Amino acid sequence: MRPTAYVASPYGFAESTRLFYAERLLPVVRRHVDVIDPWEADLPDEADPAQRWLALGDVHLASIAERSDLVVACLDQEPPDNGTVVEVAWAAAHGKPVVAYRNDLRQGGEEGLRYNLMIGAVVRRSGGVEVGSLEELDAALSQTVADCFGPR
């Protein structure tokens, strides 16, 4: 059985990033793992709009903790999306390795770092790795799957 990865990203919010997500990012991830795509989740049926969003957050966190073997986190933007950062921390707290992708050219943290030092620390402590291109993501997923889940 193939490992399962939750793909954490803000890419579904904007038309400008949906095509990249669907046609470039997900095919790379799907070469190595089965994908839990939070952008395909149905909004829970709650009367109050705020309660629907809160319930969806619960669904996403449960997917990470209960259904995923690892998390692929897309940390483009400056600063990285708050929700994606929470998903990174949640994954690490639940023992899930995080493969953190950031191709944003802007420096986002302390000198020489891709983003805030605490995000990088969480990624490393999860047993994961930081990458800066789709090619690096492809290689990192191959290595993470082999190291954590054995040969396929």
Instruction: State the CATH number of the domain containing residue 20.
Output: 3.40.50.450
* Long-range contacts formed by 75-79: CB under 8 A, 24+ apart: 75/100, 75/101, 75/102, 75/104, 75/108, 75/114, 75/115, 75/119, 76/10, 76/101, 76/102, 76/103, 76/104, 77/10, 77/104, 78/104, 78/106, 78/108, 79/108, 79/115, 79/116
Write out pLDDT tens, residues 22-48: 999 999 999 999 999 999 977 777 778
Domain holding 143, by residue range, is: 4-149
Write out pLDDT tens, residues 48-93: 888 888 888 999 999 999 999 999 999 998 889 999 999 999 999 9
The average confidence (pLDDT) of the chain is 92
- Residue scoring higher pLDDT (105 or 60): 60
- Provide the number of structural domains found in the chain: 1
